[in-house]
Amino acid sequence: MRARSLVLVWLALLLLLALSVGATFLPIGGWRHGISIGVGFVKAGLVLWFFMKLRTAGGLARLSVLGTLLFLMALILLVWIDYASRSSYRGSGIMTGEPNAGSTSTHFS
């Protein structure tokens, strides 16, 4: 019965919610963030697959969702690369055009 499987999915979603909340209290440092987002992806996947009927939808509908997610990931990834790689030369003078900018050696000053 389809209604039964829907209710089972709902229970799974609640369980996953408990998991992500529980993980917040564990002393595992930065992994907490990864887990809670990861659980979010699993929950969203369940909703998309069972509630939004991607399970029975054609390739086109699935491709629309997948494609969208891929472009979104591109935005997030490249923003991440920007922020993650900025500090390595901040304060080294490159962007302000000082002479000997970027150099960490103290030979020339």
Partner 1 sequence: MNASGEGLHDAPREVDPPRRTPAEASSYIADGYSLRSWFVTTDHKRVAVLYLVSITAFFFIGACAAALIRLELLTPAGDLLTNEGYNRAFTLHGVVMIWFFLIPSIPNVFGNFLLPLMIGARDLAFPRLNLLSWYIYVFAGLFTLYVLLTGGVDTGWTFYTPLSSTYANGHVMAALTAVFIVGWSSILTGINFIVTVHKLRAPGMTWGRLPLFVWAHYATALILVLATPVLTITLILIALERLLGIGIFDPSLGGDPLLFQHLFWFYSHPAVYIMVLPALGVVSELVAAAARKKIFGYWFVAYSSIAIAVIGFFVWGHHMFVSGQSMYASTIFSFLSLLVAVPSAIKVYNWTATLYKGSIALNAAFLFAMGFIGLFVLGGLSGLMLAMLAIDVHVHDTYFVVAHFHYIMVGGAVTAFLGAVHFWWPKMFGRMYNETWGRISAALIFLGFNLTFFPQFLLGYLGMPRRYHVYPPEFQALHVLSSSGAFILGLGYGLPLIYLFYSLRHGDPAEPNPWGATGLEWTVPSPPPTHNFEEVPRVENEPYDYALRHDESIG
Partner 2 sequence: MQRHEPYPTLERQREADQLGMMLFLGSEIMLFGALFAAAFGLFLQHTPDVEAASGRLNLWLGGANTIILLTSSVFVALGAEARGRRPRRLVACFLAAALLGILFLAVKALEYAREYDEGLMPGTAHAHFASGPQQLFMNLYFAATGLHAVHLTLGVVLLLVLALRERWRPATAAAIENAALYWHLVDVIWIFLYPVLYLTRG
Give helix 2-24 / helix 31-46 axis angle, nearest 10°.
170
- Which residues, other chains included, contact 8 with Cβ-Cβ below 8 Å and sequence gap of 6+? none
52 binds, among partner 1, partner 2, none (CB under 5 to 8 A by kind): partner 2
Task: Find out whether 101 and 90 touch, Cβ atoms under 8 Å.
Answer: no
Q: Is 91 exposed, middle or buried (0-12, 13-18, 19+ CB in 10 A)?
A: exposed
Q: Which does 76 bind (CB under 5 to 8 A by kind): partner 2, partner 1, none?
A: partner 2
Listed ranges 2-10, 15-23, 49-57, 72-80: which one lies at the site for partner 1 (CB under 8 A): 72-80
* Binding positions for partner 2, rule: CB under 8 A: 2-3, 6-7, 9-10, 13-14, 17, 20-21, 23-24, 32-33, 36-37, 39-40, 43-44, 47-48, 50-52, 57-58, 60-61, 64-65, 67-69, 71-72, 75-76, 79-80, 83-84
